[in-house]
Chain A
Amino acid sequence: MSSTDQIQPVAALPRPKPLLLRHAPYFIAAAALVFLAASMRFDGYILNILMQATTFAIAVFGLSVVLGLCGQINLAQAAFFGFGAYAVGLGTTDYQLNYWICLFGGCIMALVAGAVLGLSTLRLGGHYLAMVTISFQQIVTLVMINAIWLTKGPDGVSRIGRPSLFTSSQSYLAFCVAVLAIVGYMVWHLPDTRLGRAMRAVRDNELAAGVNGIDVFRTKVTAFAISAVLGGLGGGLFAGGFAYISPDQFSFAESIVFLTMSLLGGVASPIGSAIGTGLLILIPEWLRFLKSVPGLYLAIYGLSVILIIRFMPDGIWGFVTAAYDRIRARKPAPAIGIPLVLKPAATGGDMVLEVTGLSKHFGGLKAVDQVDIAVHRGGVHALIGPNGSGKTTTLNVLSGLYEATAGKVLLDGTDVTTMPPHLRTAAGLGRTFQNIRLFRSMTALENVVIGAERPGNTMVGRGDATALTERALAALTFVGLGPRANELITSFSYGHQRLIEIARALAANPTLLLLDEPAAGLNSSEKLELHELLKRIAAQGLTILIIDHDMTLVSEAAQHITVLNFGRRIADGESMAVLRHPDVVSAYLGTD
Chain B
Amino acid sequence: MTLTRRGFTAGVAAGLAAPYIIGSARAQSGGTIKIGMCAPITGPAAEAGKYATGGAKLAVEAINKAGGVLGKQLELIIEDDQITNPGIVLAFSKLAAQPDIVGFLGSIRSTQVHAMAPDVMKLGKPVMFGGTDPNLTKLGNPWLFRFRPNDSYSGRVIADYGVKTLGKKKWAVLHSTDAFGTAGGKALTEALGKLDATIAIDQGYANQSQDFTPVVLAIKQSGADILGSYFTFENDLGIFARQLRQLGVNIPWVGSPSIVNVTALKLAGPALYGTYGVADYAEESTPGAKAFGKAYREAYKVAPDNQSSWPFDAVNVLALAIKNAGSTDPQKIREAIVAIKKYPGAEGEYNFDKNGDGLHGYNIVKNDKGNIVFDKHIEFDD
Give A contacts to B, CB under 8 Å. 43-49, 52, 142, 145-146, 148, 153-156, 158-159, 242-244, 246, 248-249, 282, 285-286, 288-289, 291-292, 294, 297
Contact = CB atoms under 8 A, between A and B. Distances in A.
Contacts of B43: 291, 294
A288 B42 contact: yes
A43 B25 CA distance: 13
Given A145-B206, A294-B46, A158 B114 contact: yes
A370 to B, nearest CB: 57
24 contacts: A43-B22, A43-B23, A43-B97, A44-B97, A45-B93, A45-B97, A48-B90, A148-B182, A153-B177, A153-B179, A153-B182, A154-B182, A156-B115, A158-B115, A158-B117, A244-B114, A244-B117, A285-B18, A288-B16, A289-B15, A291-B82, A294-B43, A294-B47, A297-B42
A47 B93 contact: yes
Contacts of A291: 15, 41-43, 46, 80, 82
Contacts of A159: 118
Nearest to A285: B19
Interface of B: 11-12, 14-19, 22-23, 26, 41-44, 46-47, 80, 82, 84-86, 89-90, 93-94, 96-97, 110-111, 114-115, 117-119, 133, 135, 139, 177-180, 182-183, 204, 206
Nearest to B20: A46
Given A48-B89, A49-B19, A243-B118, A294 B44 contact: yes
B80 A155 contact: no
Contacts of B84: 248
Contact of B206 (A142, A246, A248, A294): A142
A246 B86 CA distance: 10
B46 A246 contact: no
Contacts of A145: 177-178, 206
A80 B17 CA distance: 34
Contact of B177 (A154, A246, A292): A154
Nearest to B186: A148
Contact of A44 (B12, B14, B85, B119): B119
Given A155-B114, A291-B41, A294-B42, A244 B85 contact: yes
Contacts of A148: 182
A156 B118 CA distance: 13
Contact of A292 (B26, B42, B183): B42
A460 B204 CA distance: 64
A244 B115 contact: yes
B115 A146 contact: no
A246 B111 contact: yes
Contacts of A249: 85-86
A154 B110 CA distance: 10
A159 B19 CA distance: 27
Contact of A45 (B42, B46, B94, B180): B94
B12, B18, B180: residue with the most chain A Cβ atoms closer than 10 Å: B18
B14 A288 contact: yes
Contacts of B22: 43, 45
B90 A158 contact: no
Contacts of A45: 19, 22, 90, 93-94, 97
Nearest to B135: A155
Contacts of B94: 44-45
A49 B90 contact: yes
B229 to A, nearest CB: 17
Contacts of B177: 145-146, 153-154
Contacts of B15: 288-289, 291-292
Given A155-B110, A288-B14, 17 more contacts: A43-B93, A146-B177, A155-B114, A155-B183, A158-B115, A243-B118, A244-B85, A246-B114, A248-B85, A282-B19, A288-B16, A291-B41, A291-B42, A292-B42, A294-B42, A294-B46, A294-B47
Contacts of B16: 288-289
Nearest to B46: A294
A330 to B, nearest CB: 41
A155 B114 CA distance: 7
A79 to B, nearest CB: 17
Nearest to A244: B115
B82 A156 contact: no
A273 B97 CA distance: 30
Contacts of A46: 19
Instruction: Report the 3 A-B pairs with minimum CB-CB distance, sorted nearest first.
Output: A291-B42, A44-B93, A43-B97
A489 B31 CA distance: 70
A142 to B, nearest CB: 7
Nearest to A159: B118
A45 to B, nearest CB: 4
A158 B115 CA distance: 7
Nearest to B121: A159
B117 to A, nearest CB: 6
Contacts of A294: 42-44, 46-47
B13 to A, nearest CB: 10
Contacts of B12: 289
B328 to A, nearest CB: 20
A156 B109 CA distance: 13
A246 B42 contact: no
A20 to B, nearest CB: 36
Nearest to B45: A294
A44 B96 contact: yes
B111 A154 contact: yes
A431 B47 CA distance: 65
Nearest to A146: B177
Given A145-B177, A146-B177, A249-B85, A158 B182 contact: no
B12, B22, B97, B183: residue with the most chain A Cβ atoms closer than 10 Å: B97
Nearest to A296: B42
A244 B93 contact: no
A156 B117 CA distance: 12
Contacts of B82: 291
Contacts of B115: 156, 158, 244, 246
A146 B176 CA distance: 10
A464 to B, nearest CB: 46
A155 B133 contact: yes
A150 to B, nearest CB: 14
A43 B122 CA distance: 13
A95 to B, nearest CB: 19
A563 to B, nearest CB: 63
Contacts of B11: 292
